């Protein structure tokens, strides 16, 4: 069998950190080849080496049998290698066509021949079934269409080897299905594809072979037909993985959070939370399942007072907290682990110690008469660092210097320590490795067992299914169903999340 | 941790050193004797008690304009408007100094307070526009500088004088001048302003590092989103940070109006003290103590430069070149860090 | 005095004052469209003015009528070279672009005055003797009413400035170079993955801004001040910056704003000779450009968005 790409014993070192330790990956012509590994395993590094963004410190790259040196993305382009980036590399203010031709513009007398370019884009998009509007501005088109533009960029440059970097992370289930069809069509047209992912389901569905890497090392390459998700997960993590989290039966008590008829509009005046009703009781974890962009963020921001709601009611232990200031709501007993820990959870340039009192600095014992008491602040920090196993050189280290997992542990420690009645966790494990994920799930369940109400928002169905006691499905700003995780299936949830099936909301509440 | 601190200390020192070396290259290339030039500079800054008095006098507004820039920097803002805030502060101080006749213990504080308020008010506008409309403060403060210059000139012409080019002299009761300080420095223009500047440095340090308000201001400066999530009022803190910065700048103007000049005259261009404050703050690491040191350096450079034409034939502007290069080197600290790590590696 | 006579005083004078601002503002458009803040325009104009005057004084005898044109050329080159400092600091050494711009302004005035004192032994140069001639543009100046107002008795550099705005518009919005320049200012990483050398584009853009600001300064010194001292360029670079922002980072907008600011400047100077303007205190006309820019930024005159990556250094390989 002919290999179009061979990456042999690739080694890449950053300082003292070995990101790629003699990894080998061979791509056959016309196959879809998965590159599987956890976050931080070295997938992106390996692909950036192939795409010419990094230079390898050892090993050999062969393209169609020829040994090559890929010194920059231009060389990769010339070799027919194209990358569909996870974070789209698109200029918002440009049109679809301008984005596609950027860097290799057709010209007529020194001027960009935009008519010809649009025609070429139109032809390409028809040939591969990638529906786009060549004259639309990127800012005005859907995420799915933006991804098609990314694919067209590589095809326009004549790529026949396509690298897809975590392409489904931002897509709805329908868009994922469309993407899978596109990938199959591309392979039929003679393209070869490397799919970077950590989602086992996708591999089983579309890939021919899979190469697994773990902590920078190549673990091996398997035929997808000869393996199963459990084996792949074990290879990826390095030990048996329990898909189920251990937990006792929930013992729900009184209603802590009661949301009635909540309406929230976004900055453009579009209704994003639409007469939503939801209840969370003491001693239970309610998971909100839904595709990104169905009102989850706005729901949380409304509960925590970060944005103003139009109408409705949010009660905490029977007391109305709708549209109070974030500080009043925090003081009323709401803890919040925000979705974006860098942007919303921490002041990265503050020492980790000062981050521990971000909501309580103005209260005794951390300050008195407006003057901070650093001794008490750092005593508390040391206690939390120990209790929540935050790995940091000391409490004076800037939060920026900590790993994602340790930053998240610090945030959870801080929120839990305030002993809130309601703990909101938004995507609490995004981007973390399996060890940290297990730690965080355990802590959430521990809070539940201590009689707290926990509201969990996640786009990972596994997480929702494993941790929640009840699942509320959100679609277009409404809770469309409440299901029991023990009785539902991923298929059913998927359909509910896509809005194609409705259950009577509030069945079990 | 320790090596980080050492680097933070080394960068400004190296920047000054590189700036001075570049200055001597300029002198050699232009046919001057750098040793004579720098000797004249040193003598002109510290040579006798008169020069020392002048250096300290020059350092006074530099400390305050440096504090103004640094306070904004530390709270995530870039206040290029210190120059304009200084001018309106100067105007307000002189106005109060001329218009009232009060006992000294009321009049002097009142004049300084007026300067602080005027500077604060001038900074309030960019602060408010940033907080409310997300307008970048750099452009607004630049524009406010020119508005300050022209408006102040118009007021001097029409209100503080009868179409003249300068105001009357302020009343003695509003003056910072001190016969005692002048007499021990061989009748330099040294005045009590230095005491106020040093107190201001302590206030800035305490406010920023030790109080809950300072904690908020710093948090908002680093990360508005996280501060908002933590329940702080981001808009109010932005406005407050700008206002406090402007107040320091206004007091810098009072030093000129109540101490050095005792009046205000129509200006063809900027004083430069506010812009130099950017250099002072950067070199001082935006830290109150560092600012006192770097203000001393820039005060000495500016005053010492006056001795250079007569003793060594070197134009005073050499010092402006050196200051500009020091800013370049501090700003390009990435370069210096790179050099330092390379030196360290080779040392191992 | 009739309306036509008034216009005949004001409009040519507005164009006269606007020319240096247009050149410099167009330079600012290049730099900022590529993502590099350039508040060093003021200093670059100073260098241009200095170079223009010194060249003119030194070589007037050799080159005669050609002198001012060669002076513009030399000022352009010196401006571009001087702007390299800003490029190196803010692109390669990741310095804060605003701070680096401040340093450019300090250095320009310090260095040029230092050299003036060194060369002439005093703080001010002599007056230049050879300037630009005023011309009537053929055909266009024969158009009734508009002709005499716009195309009669003007300086050639003023007309070049206006024509250049259209050229810059074409370059930025119609050519591959312009598309790449804008992509680098909006999303440098996207440009990088498309094989565009971000640092190179930004170096070119900053040097273009230096070249054009150099011309702007030299035009100012040659046709307006006619000598060079510490006060020759006092805020014109910042006014050009304001014109660029007021013009929403668009070449034609920047030109329009520069013409308007030139108009305000000319009013504050020739206003005394015009009946109904005598009553308006000059201070209002002096501060008008700055107040208008603030209002424009605040969104009262239609909101403008700066290039997205403006002010941020691009570090390869960092997400």
Give mean pLDDT, residues C160-189: 96
State residue B346's pLDDT score: 63
- DSSP 8-state class, residue C154: E
Q: How confident is the model at residue A82 (pLDDT cuts 50, 70, 90)?
A: very high
What digits encode the pLDDT tens for the residues A291-334? 878 899 999 999 999 999 999 999 999 999 999 999 999 999 99
CB A235 within 8 A of CB A217: no
Q: What are phi and psi of A194, to 5 degrees?
A: -110, 125
Confidence of residue A169 (pLDDT cuts 50, 70, 90): confident
Measured distance CA(A52)–CA(A80) in Å, rounded: 12
What is the arithmetic mean of pLDDT over A232-257? 81
- Chain B residues touching residue C316 (CB < 8 angstroms): none
End-to-end CA distance of chain A: 58
8 Å CB contact of A91 and C186: yes
pTM above 0.80, yes or no: yes
A497, pLDDT greater than 90: no
Most confident of A33-47, A391-405, B42-56, C281-295: B42-56
Structure tokens of A301? 């921001």
pLDDT of residue A329: 95
Who has greater pLDDT, C206 or C293?
C206
Q: Please report the pLDDT score of residue C301 as a whole number.
A: 60
Reply yes or no on whether the pLDDT at A508 is more than 50. no
Give the chains touching C; criterion: ≥3 Cβ pairs < 8 Å: A, B
Which of these, B52, B32, B53, B33, lies nearest to B42 by C-alpha position?
B52
- For strands A161-165 and A81-84, give the pairing: parallel
Rounded CA gap, A212 and A235, in Å? 7
Q: Is B231 on the interface with A (CB under 8 A)?
A: yes
Contact A132, A146 (CB under 8 A): no
Q: Residues of A222-239 as b/e, b for ≥16 C-beta within 10 angstroms? A: bebeebeeeebbebbbee
The span from the CA of A366 to the CA of A380, in Å, is 9
Q: What is the pLDDT of residues C32-45, one digit of tens each?
A: 999 999 999 999 99
Please provide the average confidence, as pLDDT, over all residues in chain A.
90
Distance from A103 to chain C by nearest Cα, in Å?
6
Q: State the average pLDDT over residues C248-276.
A: 84
Helix (H), strand (E) at residue C314? none
Chains that touch A (3 or more CB pairs under 8 A): B, C
Q: Using CA atoms, how far apart are residues C217 and C208, in angstroms rounded to an integer?
A: 14
pLDDT of residue A437: 84
Helix (H, G, I), strand (E, B) or coil at A275: strand
Taking contacts as CB-CB distances below 8 angstroms, the residues of chain A near B230 are: 326, 330, 358-359
Q: Which DSSP letter does residue A387 get?
A: H
Q: At what angle do helices B49-74 and B288-305 cross, to 10 degrees?
A: 140
The pLDDT tens digits along chain B (348 residues) read 345 677 778 889 999 999 999 999 999 999 999 999 999 999 999 999 999 999 999 999 999 999 999 999 999 999 999 999 999 999 999 999 999 999 999 999 999 999 999 999 999 999 999 999 888 888 899 999 999 999 999 999 999 998 889 999 999 999 999 999 999 998 999 999 999 999 999 999 999 999 999 999 999 999 999 999 999 999 999 999 999 999 999 999 999 999 999 999 999 889 999 999 999 999 999 999 999 999 999 999 999 999 999 999 999 999 999 999 999 998 888 777 777 777 766 654
Give the residue ranges of DSSP H helices in C153-281: 156-174, 176-186, 188-193, 198-219, 236-246, 251-270
CA distance A375 to A354: 11
What pLDDT sits at residue A233?
A: 84
- Which tens digit of pLDDT belongs to each residue from A420-434? 999 999 999 887 777
Terminal C-alpha separation, chain B: 18
* pLDDT for the residue numbered A506: 43
- Identify which has the larger pLDDT, C279 or B85: B85
pLDDT digits over C199-249, tens only?
999 999 999 999 999 999 999 999 999 999 998 998 899 999 989 988 989
Rounded to the nearest angstrom, the gap between the alpha carbon of residue B342 and the centroid of all alpha carbons in its chain is 34
C283 closest CB neighbour out of B151, B275, B319? B151
Minimal-distance CA residue of chain C relative to A76: C195
Q: What pLDDT does A268 receive?
A: 77
Question: Residue A335 pLDDT > 60, yes or no?
Answer: yes
Q: Report yes or no: A359 at the B interface, CB cutoff 8 Å.
A: yes
Whether the pLDDT of residue A243 is over 70: the answer is: no
Task: Decide if pLDDT at A503 tops 70.
Answer: no
Query: Tens digits of per-residue pLDDT, A92-150?
Result: 999 999 999 999 899 999 999 999 999 999 999 998 889 999 999 998 888 889 999 99
Residues of C in contact with A153 (CB under 8 A): 194
Residues of A in contact with C316 (CB under 8 A): 53
pLDDT at residue number C250: 95
How close, in Å, is residue B15 to chain C by CA atoms?
13
Residues in B touching A327 (Cβ below 8 Å): 231-232
Please check whether residue B29 touches C, CB under 8 A. no
Does pLDDT of A509 surpass 70? no
Q: Peptide bond preceding A365: is omega within 30 degrees of 0, i.e. cis? A: yes
Chain C residue closest in CA terms to A114: C174
pLDDT for C319 equals: 39
* Per-chain mean pLDDT for chain B: 93
- Which tens digits make up the pLDDT trace of C148-168? 777 777 888 999 999 999 999
**What 8-state DSSP symbol labels residue A206?**
H
């Amino acid at each position: 069998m002919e290999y179009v790409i061979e990456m042999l014993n690739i080694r890449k070192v950053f300082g003292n950190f070995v990101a790629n330790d003699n990894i080998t990956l061979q791509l056959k012509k016309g196959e879809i080849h998965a590159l599987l590994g956890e976050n931080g395993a070295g997938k992106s590094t390996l692909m950036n080496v192939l795409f010419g963004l990094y230079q390898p410190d050892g090993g050999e790259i062969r393209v169609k049998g020829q040994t090559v040196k890929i010194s920059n993305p231009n060389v990769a382009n010339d070799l027919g290698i194209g990358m569909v980036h996870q974070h789209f590399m698109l200029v918002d203010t440009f049109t679809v066509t301008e984005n596609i031709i950027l860097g290799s513009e057709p010209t007529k007398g020194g001027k960009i021949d935009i008519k010809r370019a649009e025609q070429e884009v139109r032809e390409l998009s028809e040939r591969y079934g990638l529906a786009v509007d060549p004259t639309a501005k990127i800012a005005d088109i859907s995420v799915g269409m933006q991804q098609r533009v990314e694919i067209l960029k590589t095809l326009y440059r004549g790529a026949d080897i396509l690298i897809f970097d975590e392409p489904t992370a931002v897509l709805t289930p329908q868009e994922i299905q469309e993407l899978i069809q596109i990938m199959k069509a591309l392979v039929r047209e003679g393209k070869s594809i490397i799919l970077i992912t950590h989602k086992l389901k996708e591999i089983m569905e579309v890939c021919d072979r899979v190469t697994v890497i773990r902590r920078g090392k190549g673990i091996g390459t398997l035929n997808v037909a000869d393996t199963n998700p459990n084996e792949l997960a074990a290879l990826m993590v390095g030990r048996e993985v329990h898909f189920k989290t251990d937990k006792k039966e929930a013992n729900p008590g009184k209603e802590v959070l009661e949301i009635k008829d909540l309406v929230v509009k976004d900055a453009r005046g579009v209704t994003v939370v639409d007469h939503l009703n939801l209840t969370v009781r003491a001693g239970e974890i309610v998971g909100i399942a839904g595709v990104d962009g169905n009102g989850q963020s706005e729901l949380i921001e409304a509960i925590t007072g970060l944005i103003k709601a139009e109408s409705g009611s949010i009660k905490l232990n029977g007391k109305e907290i709708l549209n109070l200031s974030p500080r009043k709501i925090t003081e009323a007993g709401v803890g919040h682990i925000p979705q974006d820990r860098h942007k919303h959870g921490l002041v990265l340039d503050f020492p980790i110690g000062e981050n521990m009192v971000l909501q309580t600095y103005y209260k005794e014992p951390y300050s008195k008469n407006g003057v901070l008491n650093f001794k008490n602040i750092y005593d508390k920090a040391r206690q939390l660092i120990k209790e929540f196993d935050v790995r940091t050189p000391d409490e004076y280290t800037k939060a920026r210097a900590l790993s994602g997992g340790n930053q998240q542990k610090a945030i959870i420690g801080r929120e839990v320590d305030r002993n809130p009645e309601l703990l909101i966790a938004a995507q609490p494990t995004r981007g973390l490795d399996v060890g940290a994920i297990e730690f965080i799930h355990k802590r959430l369940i521990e809070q539940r067992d201590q009689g707290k109400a926990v509201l969990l928002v996640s786009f990972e169905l596994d997480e929702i299914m494993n941790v929640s006691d009840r699942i509320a499905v959100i679609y277009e700003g409404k809770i469309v169903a409440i299901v029991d995780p023990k009785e539902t299936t991923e298929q059913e949830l998927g359909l509910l999340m896509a809005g194609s099936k409705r259950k009577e909301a509030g069945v079990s509440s | 941790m320790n090596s980080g601190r050492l680097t933070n200390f080394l960068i400004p020192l190296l920047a000054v050193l590189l700036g001075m070396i570049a200055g001597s290259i300029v002198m050699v290339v232009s046919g001057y004797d750098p040793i004579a030039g720098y000797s004249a500079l040193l003598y002109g800054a510290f040579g006798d008690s008169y020069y020392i008095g002048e250096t300290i006098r020059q350092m006074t507004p530099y400390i305050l304009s440096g504090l103004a820039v640094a306070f904004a920097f530390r709270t995530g803002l870039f206040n290029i408007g210190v120059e304009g805030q200084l001018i309106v502060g100067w105007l307000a101080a002189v106005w109060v100094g001329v218009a009232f006749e009060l006992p000294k213990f009321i009049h002097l504080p009142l004049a300084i307070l007026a300067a602080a308020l005027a500077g604060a008010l001038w900074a309030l506008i960019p602060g408010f526009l940033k907080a409310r409309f997300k307008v970048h403060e750099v452009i607004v403060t630049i524009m406010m500088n020119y508005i300050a210059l022209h408006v102040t000139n118009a007021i001097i012409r029409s209100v503080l004088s009868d179409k003249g080019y300068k105001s009357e002299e302020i009343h003695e009761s509003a003056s910072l001048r001190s016969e005692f300080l002048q007499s021990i420095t061989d009748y330099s223009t040294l005045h009590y302003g230095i005491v106020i500047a040093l107190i201001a440095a302590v206030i800035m340090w305490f406010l920023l590092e030790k109080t809950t308000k300072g904690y908020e201001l710093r948090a908002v400066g680093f990360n508005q989103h996280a501060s908002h999530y933590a329940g702080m009022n981001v808009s109010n803190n932005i406005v407050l940070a700008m206002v406090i910065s402007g107040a320091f700048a206004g007091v810098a103007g009072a030093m000129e109006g109540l101490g050095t000049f005792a009046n205000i005259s129509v200006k063809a261009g900027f004083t430069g003290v506010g812009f130099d404050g950017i250099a002072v703050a950067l070199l001082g690491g935006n830290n109150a103590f560092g600012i006192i040191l770097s203000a001393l350096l820039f005060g000495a450079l500016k005053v010492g430069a006056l001795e250079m034409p007569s003793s060594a034939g070197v134009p005073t502007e050499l010092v402006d070149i050196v200051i500009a290069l020091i800013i370049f080197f501090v700003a390009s600290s990435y370069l210096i860090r790179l050099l330092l790590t390379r030196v360290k590696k080779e040392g191992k | 005095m009739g309306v036509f006579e008034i216009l005949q005083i004001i409009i040519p004078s507005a164009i006269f004052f606007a020319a240096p601002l247009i050149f410099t503002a167009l330079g600012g458009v290049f730099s900022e469209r590529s993502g590099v803040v350039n508040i060093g325009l003021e200093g670059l104009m100073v260098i241009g003015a200095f170079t223009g005057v010194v060249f003119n004084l030194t070589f007037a005898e050799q080159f005669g009528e050609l002198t001012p044109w060669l002076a513009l050329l030399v000022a352009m080159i010196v401006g571009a070279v001087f702007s390299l400092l800003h490029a190196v600091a803010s692109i390669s050494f990741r310095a804060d672009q605003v701070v680096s711009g401040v340093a450019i302004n300090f250095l320009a005035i310090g260095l040029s005055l230092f050299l003036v004192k060194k060369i002439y032994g005093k703080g001010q140069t002599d007056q230049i003797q050879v300037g630009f001639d005023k011309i009537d543009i053929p055909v266009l100046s024969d158009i009734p009413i508009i002709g005499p107002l716009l195309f009669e008795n003007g300086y050639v550099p003023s007309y070049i400035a206006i024509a250049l705005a259209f050229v810059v518009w074409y370059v930025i919005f119609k050519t591959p170079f312009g598309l790449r320049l804008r992509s680098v200012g909006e999303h440098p990483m996207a440009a990088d993955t498309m094989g565009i050398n971000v640092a190179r584009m930004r170096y070119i853009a900053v040097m273009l801004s230096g070249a054009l600001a150099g011309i702007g300064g030299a035009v100012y010194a040659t046709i307006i001040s006619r000598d060079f001292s510490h006060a020759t360029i006092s805020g014109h670079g910042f006014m050009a910056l304001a014109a660029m922002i007021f013009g929403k980072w668009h070449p034609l907008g920047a030109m329009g704003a520069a013409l308007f600011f030139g108009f305000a400047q000319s009013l504050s100077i020739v206003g005394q000779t015009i009946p109904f303007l005598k009553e308006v205190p000059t201070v209002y006309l002096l501060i008008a450009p700055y107040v208008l820019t603030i209002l424009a930024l605040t969104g009262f005159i239609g909101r403008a968005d700066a290039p997205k990556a403006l002010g941020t250094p691009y570090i390869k390989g960092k997400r």
